[in-house]
Every structure is written in structure tokens, then in C-alpha cells.
Amino acid sequence: RQRAHAPYSKFQVGAAILCDDGSISSGCNIENASYGLTVCAERNAVGAMVLGARKPVAVAIVADSREPTPPCGMCRQVLAEFGGDSLPVVSRTLAGKEARWTMAELLPHAFTRSFL
């Protein structure tokens, strides 16, 4: 989170993905002067993850929000590509408030490769 490039929103987000081999891949949000090119922390963590392990067992998110930040819709779809319905997603605020969801709760009826 501290490495986030978020000069426009000032909303810094960190994400970490624990994989079945014990590795942890992390990411932060990277904004752009062309705002629509912003990439969230979660998707950047997935980008780091695919360089190594690819079986997530848990996802963590941290942001300085009043309530724990859930992943955006686009990130939910990208996480669903690699994690199953039961993948736990844990989000915390800097004050330590925590929320937990499963991927199935965040993205019911996910579009997956099984439809292709």
C-alpha cells in the first residue's frame, strides 16, 4: 500500500495473494494521468503472482477507508480466473477493521472457462 502510485485519488491500496506453495505476491494500485488506465492493487498482485505460483489460497487487501474495501468488479473477475468459489478474501482498514468474504459471495455466477 505504501508503494501505491495514487496521486489523483490519494486512495492507496495494497493487496497480497498467498498461494499454495507458501509464496506471497503483492501489488499496489497504479494510477495514470489518463485516469481510465488505472490498475487496482488486486490486479497488480495477480500480475506478480502469475510469474510464479498460480493457486491462490487467500487474498488480503488493505486501504485507509472507514469500512474494509472490497475488490472492484473487474478485480473480482480477474481473481476468479485463478481462485475457486471458496477462495477467502480478507480486507482490513488501517484502523484494523476487518471483513471477510469468499469469491462466491463477491462474484456469484462467475463467468469461467467452463463456459467456453
Active site residues: 42
State the cell numbers at 7: 496521486
Question: What are the two backbone dihedrals, phi and then psi, of residue 57, each rounded to the nearest 5 degrees?
Answer: -115, -15
Q: Quick one: 3 or 52, whose CB is closer to ligand THU?
A: 3
Q: How many C-alpha atoms does 44 have within 13 Å on its Cβ side?
A: 19
Question: Which region, judged by CB under 6 A, interacts with ligand THU, from 6-14, 45-53, 80-88, 102-110?
Answer: 6-14
With binding defined as CB under 6 A, does residue 25 bind ligand THU? no
Q: Which residue has the cell 456469484?
A: 108
**Hey, how many other C-beta atoms are within 10 angstroms of the C-beta on 3?**
13
With binding defined as CB under 6 A, does residue 112 bind ligand THU? no
With binding defined as CB under 6 A, does residue 9 bind ligand THU? yes
State the cell numbers at 88: 477467502
- Whole-angstrom Cα Rg for the chain: 14
Contact assessment for residue 12 and residue 4, using Cβ atoms and an 8 Å cutoff: yes
Q: Quick one: 53 or 75, whose CB is closer to ligand THU?
A: 75
With binding defined as CB under 6 A, does residue 93 bind ligand THU? no
Among 25, 59, 69, 83, binds ligand THU (CB under 6 A): 69
With binding defined as CB under 6 A, does residue 40 bind ligand THU? yes
Which residues are at the interface with ligand THU (CB under 6 A)?
6, 9, 11, 13, 29, 31, 38, 40-42, 69, 71-72, 75
